[in-house]
Structure 1
Amino acid sequence: MRQTGTLKFFNHDRGFGFITPSEGGKDIFVHITAFERSGLAVPPEGTTLSYVAEEDRRGRGPQAAELQLA
């Protein structure tokens, strides 16, 4: 299910950040590879994105995938 949220923080040196969901709840992890797979450059913090929350393969909780600018 596609959701929307705001890019809260992104550490370019470490290659990850967090999205705050518009609907509320816990922040969603986002990795640099999610932006690369979506063909997007990492936008500035505060940008609204749409995404699909997927479970991390390592069992660490949800992470953002299929990113689009909203």
Structure 2
Amino acid sequence: MNKGTVKFYNDTKGYGFIKDDESGNEYFVHVTGLVDKIRDNDNVTYDLEEGRKGTNAVNVKRA
């Protein structure tokens, strides 16, 4: 389980980005990968999964 911070999330469009706490990498997150509702600057835990356009955050939960 990875830990990070929501850098940006657009509730209307249903996507955003999470910045990993350890590596500093940013991962795309889609509304279909959410367990909990998230907002900008929330601390979250998540798993990574390879998507069509790269690595995506999935199973995203507020920490």
Number of equivalenced pairs: 63
Larger-Rg structure: 1
Where do 1:1-70 residues align within 5 Å? 2-35=1-34, 38=35, 40-41=36-37, 43-56=38-51, 58=52, 60-70=53-63
Taking only aligned residues, the RMSD between alpha carbons, in angstroms, comes to 1.2
- In structure 1, how many angstroms separate the alpha carbons of the residues matched to 2:42 and 2:3? 10
Structure 1-normalised TM-score?
0.80
Q: Secondary structure at the match of 1:24?
A: coil
Give identity over the alignment, percent: 35
- In structure 2, how many angstroms separate the alpha carbons of the residues matched to 1:19 and 1:46? 9
Structure 2-normalised TM-score?
0.87
Structure 2: which 5+ runs fail to align? none
Q: Secondary structure at the match of 2:6?
A: strand
Structure 1: which 5+ runs fail to align? none
Deviations 1:27-55 (A, max 9, x none): 000001111xx2x22x2211110000110
**More strand as a share of residues:** 2
